[in-house]
Amino acid sequence: MKFKIYHNPRCRKSRAGLEYMVSKTMDFEVIDYLKNGISKEEIREILLKLNLRPGELIRTNEDIYKKQFKSKLFNDEEWIQIITEYPKLLRRPIIIGKHKAVIGDPLNNIDKLI
C-alpha cells in the first residue's frame, strides 16, 4: 500500500516525520503542499480520514493565524477555504493511508497507521 505524507521541508516536526517514514522503508509519496498548493478536495479527504473538523487542523501558533484569524468564528467550509489560501496553517506532517490518516506529531502516531 502506498502512503502520502503532506510535508513542509522547512518544518522541524515535518522533517522528523519524513525521516521516520524513511526509517520504516515504507512506500510513500511526499506532497510539498506549500510549493504545490492543496485543494479543497484534498483537505476534505484528509479531514475524513483523520475524523477531524477543519478548525482542528489549524496551527494556532502561526503569525498569520494570530493576526488574521484568532478569536474569529468560521464554519467548516470557511476553514477549508482559509487552509487552501494559507496552507502554512495546516498541521504537519499528515500521513494518509488508504482508509485512515494521522498527524505525525508526535512521531509514534505514525505507528497507528502502519
Residues tagged active-site: 11
Cα angle 43-37-51, degrees, rounded to a multiple of 5: 15
Would you state the torsion angle of the CA atoms of residues 45, 47, 50, 56, taken in this order, to the nearest 10 degrees?
160
DSSP annotation of 5 reads E
**Hey, what's the cell of 84?**
487552501
3-class secondary structure, 94: strand
Distance CA 5, CA 67 (A): 28
73 Cβ neighbours under 8 A, 6+ residues apart: none
